[in-house]
Structure 1
Amino acid sequence: MRIRTLHRRDFILHAGAAAAAGLFGVPARARQAAPAAAHNPPKAPARAPVILVLGDSLSAEYGLPRGSGWVALLEQKLAQEKTAATVLNASISGETTSGGRARLPALLAQHRPSVVVIELGGNDALRGLALAHTEDNLVAMVQAAQQAGAKVLLVGMQVPPNYGAAYTQQFAALFPKVARAHKAALVPFLLAGVADGPDPTAAFQPDRIHPNAQAQPRLLANVWPQLVKLLR
């Protein structure tokens, strides 16, 4: 299993010994069988599933030591579970649903993922963008991934009531709404047990927005149960 982190430039650019052995010491029966085998070449080994994570700073290890974010921990978890998969982290700090929607088609074409994890929307809310705009982008990304043959895991987010209780509630409801309508898997809230824990400040970096390294296993624990269902 391996994990690759895709940087912005990646989105733009982004059997001789065996033959010798066949000449010496091969039994007559094997030599006679060779022409028939040529008509039925062995099948290539099955390609390991590719998990594409399309997210923002919460998935891009913002402010964290490299290798300590939940996406990096996902690779370790897959190894422990002996689940063959390649993890591609295409997350960018500050990304919005518009940015993810624009980048996704090229990522799908290049990497042909089996599963696409969409963790976007938080920056839309922080900027006070229209909910209809965010919903439209989420729907477009889910549909694009599914049309490319990938399963989709939509990761939900919640925000403080800076823009009023109505906006906060409607924003949180977007994710289950889109997941139900388009038959995508859902993580209701990425920061469950972190932002709403007994001592939330202890789980965050000084900016009070990004979880610290100690909170990353909890984020993975929120994602893993739904993700592993898609892999199996």
Structure 2
Amino acid sequence: MKASMRRWDRRHFIVAGAAAALAGLSRAQATRPGDQSAVILVVGDSLSAEYGLKRGEGWVPLMEKRIEQQKIAARVVNASISGDTSSGGRSRLPALLSKHQPTHVVLELGANDALRGLPIQGTEDNLTAMTRAAQAAGAKVLLVGIQVPPNYGSDYTRRFAAMFRTVADKTNAALVPFLLDGVADAPDPAPLFQADRIHPNATAQPRILDNVWPQLRKLL
């Protein structure tokens, strides 16, 4: 009787151990990072908010379509607001991080700061704070740079463009140096812009996405 019980105990121990191992494996498989959908939060201004475009024509919706086509497990939250500044984005970001819990944050702000003649240092401080807040929340950050026309003066234009690199270097964030590369500096940019000559039209949006995509794809 005792020997029989000892054999049963050993068999029970082996079965229980195997079950525990399988349960642990199942939990590990269920929580692998690659199995979970990424959440990409885009915080920008009119350049990302489809200003003057039909819904679905902007580079952010086009990015959603590309993500779907490439079967990437990710969803996009576009929290861009036309006219927003880096200060406005900074004030909105904490609530957005709490609500959406993004794994990736794309920051496209600063153009309206320049249009309003705001100090570059203030814009740099805001973008730095936003980047660090997103990183502290566990998100990877892609900083999207913008450039201003030369009529702002060569010194201001140079320092404004360099600011995005400075923020990226300080925070180890990924960087798209110029959102409108190949658009604003095209040989003949007029056909790529709306009548206001500030906002790119629908024709330009695929090129804008192509400027952002390589750096974002590396982070996904």
What residue is the counterpart of 1:106 in the other structure?
95
What residue is the counterpart of 1:86 in the other structure?
75
Q: CA deviation at 1:163?
A: 2.9
1:47 to 36, 51, 65: 36
Contact 2:36 2:73 in 1 (8 A): no
What residue is the counterpart of 2:62 in the other structure?
73
Letter in 2 for 1:99: G
Calculate percent identity across the aligned residue pairs. Answer: 68
What residue is the counterpart of 2:210 in the other structure?
221
Quick check: which has more Rg, 1 or 2? 2
CA distance in 1, matches of 2:217, 2:103: 12
What residue is the counterpart of 1:123 in the other structure?
112
Q: Identify, as 1 or 2, the structure richer in helix.
A: 2
What residue is the counterpart of 2:133 in the other structure?
144
State which drifts further: 138-147 or 74-83.
74-83
State which drifts further: 75-84 or 218-227.
75-84
Contact 1:156 1:186 in 2 (8 A): yes
CA distance in 2, matches of 1:76, 1:150: 22
CA distance in 2, matches of 1:135, 1:66: 31
State which drifts further: 148-157 or 77-86.
77-86
Contact 2:135 2:141 in 1 (8 A): yes
Contact 1:68 1:216 in 2 (8 A): yes
- SS of 2:57's partner is coil
What is the 5 A alignment of 1:188-203?
188-203=177-192
- SS of 1:211's partner is coil
Q: CA deviation at 1:60?
A: 0.1
Letter in 2 for 1:157: I
Letter in 1 for 2:200: P
What is the number of equivalent residue pairs in this alignment?
197
CA distance in 1, matches of 2:46, 2:175: 19
CA distance in 1, matches of 2:209, 2:178: 12
Contact 1:53 1:117 in 2 (8 A): yes
Q: CA deviation at 1:67?
A: 0.4
What do you get for the CA RMSD once the two structures are aligned? 1.8
Establish whether residue 175 from structure 1 lines up as the match of residue 164 from structure 2.
yes
Report the TM-score, using the length of structure 1 for normalisation. Answer: 0.81
Structure 1 stretches of at least 4 aligned residues deviating more than 6 Å after TM superposition:
none
- 5+ residue gaps, structure 2, are 1-15
What residue is the counterpart of 2:4 in the other structure?
none
Letter in 1 for 2:124: E
CA distance in 1, matches of 2:218, 2:139: 14
Contact 1:128 1:163 in 2 (8 A): no
Q: CA deviation at 1:207?
A: 0.1
Q: CA deviation at 1:79?
A: 1.3
Contact 2:124 2:167 in 1 (8 A): yes
2:86 to 74, 93, 97: 97
Establish whether residue 162 from structure 1 lines up as the match of residue 183 from structure 2.
no
